[in-house]
Structure 1
């Protein structure tokens, strides 16, 4: 107890003296960043776990891209399970007639009685009206529309909406649909109707993209037993989902967003670790004398170590508590941006994120402060008489081992946040490579600045100050490199999320021609093709119609394929779904043959195919391979004679696989087209859908706008987390300057004793700070440009112009920011009387 009391008194004294402010700031920022992300992700996790079955609407979900056999529902009933069927697909709906006709793409969901089996539908008598639990499903002849659809169409309860060839009455406004999950995955608004009305709409046609689901619920043992049976008969395009693997698109998207936020917080932790190491070293230097005195008064090495460990433990708990409190309030900002993407409300977070943040903060504190503490423990009593900075009895190898342990703790933390070994390895290697490159560039730049200092010809006092400042960078090269590396990492992250991201978005927008198609029309039936083409011709709209045949890739070179045949997740998804195949003889615009050849006259009656280059890479296909597709239950074999590179930015209709007409023309097909619709011709869509109710018109501009809105919200949240990164970078700068304060104080005092004036020394400090910030901004901007170019070419597949002003802006901005932040740490050195500094021995 006496040790704890003594440590508490020392902690209070050091806090009052400002000795531990940097450590507190670094820890608070790190813990706040981690817990802000942790609290929000914990709320997501609780929502998914507590409402897992509600997110499915059942205990077990069978999903297929073709109708389920009738005996599947019969077998489920034999196991005592309740069964509900749903069918979901996109289609156009309309309200009104003539000049008042309004159309909108909607996601149609037909449900049978008993839906949902878990959770509850909620409906309201109008938009922005109080809702209540629904009693059953829409009655035949009526529909429920969600608030988005009601708003877009200006529809009210009682209005008649045209769904295909049927006119159905709006019975209620749908406010909550338990198995809908995230509303940004349903780009189109939702319409719920009774399964009995579906066939009467005439929307179930060949080529219709319908998702068939069987919802099952019952006793746990019965559900498990039926699942074991169903797994034996699951075929291609079918899958089983439960509370653990259900709604994979939700979990995948949330996992990615959480990983992005987590990695953003992790960068803050990396910078905080650097700040802790620098602040601990400064603390050690300032306490060597007091430890030597205590050793002379009888304190043992063990007692000193226990006192400092106890003091830092108290400091860690205090800082962690403050960081958790800040993180708790900060996570509401993330919630305000990201929770709007969720339909289901989020419960309040638990205490686990606070516990995790506190543990991580304490681990960081002891991982990077232990080596300096061991130096304090081993200080020699002779230091009272001889004031050299003795490292004590700790060998240098052990000192390096202590820091290596701290870096191991940091690496383990990076693996923990990343969530998997492979990603963690990439992250650790990426950070290590970035730090090495930044350190090398910073060291070279400092050396060049030192060599050029003699050429400064500003003249007078300012020139002397600048030359001294540049020389000081070289003398304190290690500290300067640490400052530049830490700041460059923070600046690069911010530039990637601001300037470079905007460059990529602008390049993406510019890559799409002004007259690029902005509407797609799908589900055109063969008997409608001539009339639809005349409708486009009457409006003088340029368009090209393509046949679309749906088929599943079953074999390559006689080898049967399955999702398990591939490790790549995209390849698994492609194999598990049907492809949209098409046929033609001429090479489509925007397509370039990259391998093999295009169809020739002699290929008209042959079973050959041209495959998109990206698909071939993903699935490991090459020219000469024989592909077997299953179309309508019949096998169709084609040989790959060429690969094509597509211009996806053209927004034209593109296909992964093309064949000559003879290969596919005999199979059921629907037709698809894309076209540019000027704002002045917007009424054409209404008239087209009124004449052909089964057509689905997709407004690509609206879809992209909604997806961009979602991306904007996520990036805003990430940028908010990077505010902690910026604060950590400032703490690093302050810590780096303060750790060398004693040496700077002696040097400045000596210069003043030799006749240097304040204005000259102030110029030296400002020059040093400006060069550090400018170099950090320059290195960060060049790295951000390089990463942006890599993303543009490797990920987005388009050209992006180099942002030439960015290095200049980042250099000037970094210089101003670092000078302003560092001046508070270094300006007080000029106020120390020279005699005091010289008497203290530096």
Structure 2
């Protein structure tokens, strides 16, 4: 033995790939006599590099029968499906952040419009045409938007390197160098958002009448309103469709995002209305909550935006851990934690005796043969008729087949009849798991033919079973009556439970029967947990931008009301309010705003946790009060701090100067 391989990039999944692997020089293979009639061998060429797409285009037309070209998405359809879902999920997360940032742009552009009305009116008085003014404003925003988008792109590249560090062992080496699309797409997205939400206020600003120099009471110029919402909504729609890459998925994403934001803002508005019924003692809370009620639309938008980001982080931290713990707790206390595979027929008695002696268990070793489905009702079974990737993958694989005279524990017949005691042979039939039968379009009464090492075996489907896969017992997709597969080459498999402190049995088993493969379920669960933790770090990193979008909405809303807050503070200070009182009132306002966002986030995370536990994982739901404590208190403190920092400047302005600016 020259070295120990810690990770093999060629492992593509499947239970057998979890066992020990031996790597040797291919020139030494003939001397091993491993390639014998009846053995199966597969040859793989691993290709990587920047020219992979060109190689794929060259190799595809030259493939012959029995050859195929696979990528990480093709080697296992479930991996491709998982990657596609993960890509869309992360894309959706980024889009939520983009939409919140777009709201912040709209609020900032609205304030820009109000602050530059007088300057625009003066320019009109000096002879500037509407077109000239619009061109000037657009050039300013293009330069600003390009610089901001470029800075965002550079931050994203730095974030990618940080993400690699967060993922740790999941990524070896550096990621591929970003192409020009990686630089162009964020800049295009940034400029599109800027024009979609800032252009209408700029058009309105270019149309300000010169008369405003003399009449400050004139309202805002037209060109906003419906046009602003239409352009902004169109921009978001185009970006979502671009991300989704198909109309149906894009429409679902648009509807889901809008429903999510509308539900959050609507719930926030109801909470603000509810505040009116509460008694408020003291100037600080009375004034702070009055600020929320005076601007219900803006406050609802801020609360809803913050709640989305906080809820996402709660789901990825506390809820994820709760679901994993609840799932583990839902497993039967006697659930097997080790599988024994590849037990030869002449080893069954010896392995059974060893398990009885070392673990004090009566292990039932189940026979297993591997066969490929080749015919259904006498017609060749082809997977090209399936549009579903999972159906094609299941149809092309070799099935683990077994036989028994009694219905296994954890199996329940849902359609048809189980064979009677004493029945045997092909006439007794076969039983399929209902899920795979539905996927492959097989029903009771169909005749199936399997190819088992060159021998064809046929039987009629007499029943469909529902299988409890969470029991960790040995289960099979296809079961035959005794007398059909008995004469074919077979191995045996079993599952046992071993105490964590008893490792001697494993050493004894491996030493006595080195061909037996032992799968440690506990180690598998630890690996799954490790992968989940690492992937969650990546998703949390993306959702930080969603939370940042919510903070941007908060800061933009504060900036949009800066002039109004400065005027209110000046009036109140003139009437005798101290700077300390006003600061405390602002702090109370943002504490309430953050607490309301935390309540919504905790409620949304709890509801999502219930749906996931009940509908997806089918495990008992456990209410976690810590979710509410951390969600509400953490949101209140963070939002209060951000809001207080954003409004300090309004309290420092001299009251007289603020009143003069307002007039």
Report the TM-score when normalising by structure 1: 0.70
**Match in the other structure for 1:155:** none
Looking at structure 2, the residues matched to 699 and 618 of structure 1 have their Cα atoms a distance apart, in angstroms, of: 30
Query: Is the Cα–Cα contact under 8 Å of residues 549 and 668 in structure 1 kept in the other structure?
Result: yes
Does residue 258 of structure 2 align to residue 438 of structure 1? no
Looking at structure 2, the residues matched to 537 and 837 of structure 1 have their Cα atoms a distance apart, in angstroms, of: 88
> 1:543/1:830 Cα in 2 relative to 1: closer, same or farther (>3 Å)?
same
**Match in the other structure for 2:50:** none
Does residue 120 of structure 2 align to residue 291 of structure 1? yes
Looking at structure 2, the residues matched to 426 and 789 of structure 1 have their Cα atoms a distance apart, in angstroms, of: 23
Looking at structure 2, the residues matched to 226 and 834 of structure 1 have their Cα atoms a distance apart, in angstroms, of: 77
Pairing of 1:641-656 with structure 2 (within 5 A): 641-646=463-468, 648-656=469-477
Looking at structure 1, the residues matched to 537 and 69 of structure 2 have their Cα atoms a distance apart, in angstroms, of: 33
Pairing of 1:359-374 with structure 2 (within 5 A): 359-374=188-203
Does residue 39 of structure 2 align to residue 213 of structure 1? no
Pairing of 1:590-601 with structure 2 (within 5 A): 590-596=410-416, 598-601=418-421
**Match in the other structure for 1:747:** 568
Q: 2:401 aligns with which of 578, 581, 590?
A: 581
Show CA shifts across 1:530-568 (max 9, x none): 222222222223422111122223445566543332222
Show CA shifts across 1:207-245 (max 9, x none): x9x66236599xx999999976865x55xxxx5116798
**Match in the other structure for 2:616:** 795
Pairing of 1:317-716 with structure 2 (within 5 A): 317-338=146-167, 340-342=169-171, 346-388=175-217, 390-394=219-223, 399-450=225-276, 452-453=277-278, 455-456=279-280, 458=281, 462=282, 464-539=283-358, 540-556=360-376, 560-596=380-416, 598-601=418-421, 604=424, 606-632=427-453, 633-646=455-468, 648-716=469-537
Query: Is the Cα–Cα contact under 8 Å of residues 547 and 669 in structure 1 kept in the other structure?
Result: yes
Show CA shifts across 1:287-331 (max 9, x none): 112111211121111111011101011111221232233223222
Query: Is the Cα–Cα contact under 8 Å of residues 583 and 644 in structure 2 kept in the other structure?
Result: no
How far apart are residue 254 of structure 1 and its match? 5.7
Show CA shifts across 1:601-659 (max 9, x none): 3755543333334334433445555544333441412224233141x232211222223
Secondary structure in 1 aligned to 2:22?
A: strand
Q: Which has the higher strand share?
A: 1
How far apart are residue 181 of structure 1 and its match? 9.0
**Match in the other structure for 2:107:** 278
Q: Which moved more, 1:750-759 or 1:355-364?
A: 750-759
Looking at structure 2, the residues matched to 352 and 222 of structure 1 have their Cα atoms a distance apart, in angstroms, of: 21
> 1:358/1:203 Cα in 2 relative to 1: closer, same or farther (>3 Å)?
same
Secondary structure in 2 aligned to 1:566?
A: coil
**Match in the other structure for 1:240:** 68
Looking at structure 1, the residues matched to 131 and 188 of structure 2 have their Cα atoms a distance apart, in angstroms, of: 25
Secondary structure in 2 aligned to 1:728?
A: helix
Looking at structure 2, the residues matched to 266 and 182 of structure 1 have their Cα atoms a distance apart, in angstroms, of: 32
Aligned CA RMSD, in angstroms, stands at 3.6
**Match in the other structure for 1:56:** none
Secondary structure in 1 aligned to 2:401?
A: strand
Query: Is the Cα–Cα contact under 8 Å of residues 109 and 201 in structure 2 kept in the other structure?
Result: yes
How far apart are residue 373 of structure 1 and its match? 0.9
Query: Is the Cα–Cα contact under 8 Å of residues 72 and 80 in structure 2 kept in the other structure?
Result: no
Show CA shifts across 1:165-195 (max 9, x none): xxxxxxxxxxxx7866999996556421356
How far apart are residue 276 of structure 1 and its match? 1.0
Show CA shifts across 1:334-380 (max 9, x none): 12234733456545434442222222212221121111111111112
Query: Is the Cα–Cα contact under 8 Å of residues 167 and 537 in structure 2 kept in the other structure?
Result: no
How far apart are residue 590 of structure 1 and its match? 2.8
Does residue 28 of structure 2 align to residue 147 of structure 1? no
> 1:221/1:805 Cα in 2 relative to 1: closer, same or farther (>3 Å)?
closer
Looking at structure 1, the residues matched to 538 and 137 of structure 2 have their Cα atoms a distance apart, in angstroms, of: 39
Looking at structure 2, the residues matched to 531 and 184 of structure 1 have their Cα atoms a distance apart, in angstroms, of: 24
Which structure 1 segments of 5+ residues have no match?
1-142, 150-176
Looking at structure 2, the residues matched to 146 and 658 of structure 1 have their Cα atoms a distance apart, in angstroms, of: 39
Q: Which moved more, 1:503-512 or 1:654-663?
A: 654-663
Report the TM-score when normalising by structure 2: 0.88
Query: Is the Cα–Cα contact under 8 Å of residues 595 and 644 in structure 1 kept in the other structure?
Result: no
Show CA shifts across 1:70-102 (max 9, x none): xxxxxxxxxxxxxxxxxxxxxxxxxxxxxxxxx
> 1:471/1:221 Cα in 2 relative to 1: closer, same or farther (>3 Å)?
closer
Looking at structure 2, the residues matched to 319 and 230 of structure 1 have their Cα atoms a distance apart, in angstroms, of: 48
**Match in the other structure for 1:768:** 589
> 1:593/1:243 Cα in 2 relative to 1: closer, same or farther (>3 Å)?
closer
**Match in the other structure for 2:95:** 266
**Match in the other structure for 1:738:** 559
Looking at structure 1, the residues matched to 620 and 212 of structure 2 have their Cα atoms a distance apart, in angstroms, of: 63
Secondary structure in 1 aligned to 2:564?
A: helix
Query: Is the Cα–Cα contact under 8 Å of residues 554 and 629 in structure 1 kept in the other structure?
Result: yes
Looking at structure 2, the residues matched to 563 and 722 of structure 1 have their Cα atoms a distance apart, in angstroms, of: 40
Aligned length: 653
**Match in the other structure for 1:192:** 23
Query: Is the Cα–Cα contact under 8 Å of residues 269 and 300 in structure 2 kept in the other structure?
Result: yes
Looking at structure 2, the residues matched to 478 and 535 of structure 1 have their Cα atoms a distance apart, in angstroms, of: 72
**Match in the other structure for 1:829:** 650
Query: Is the Cα–Cα contact under 8 Å of residues 148 and 189 in structure 1 kept in the other structure?
Result: no
Query: Is the Cα–Cα contact under 8 Å of residues 184 and 707 in structure 1 kept in the other structure?
Result: no
Looking at structure 2, the residues matched to 318 and 224 of structure 1 have their Cα atoms a distance apart, in angstroms, of: 38
Q: Which moved more, 1:667-676 or 1:411-420?
A: 411-420
Q: Which moved more, 1:797-806 or 1:668-677?
A: 797-806
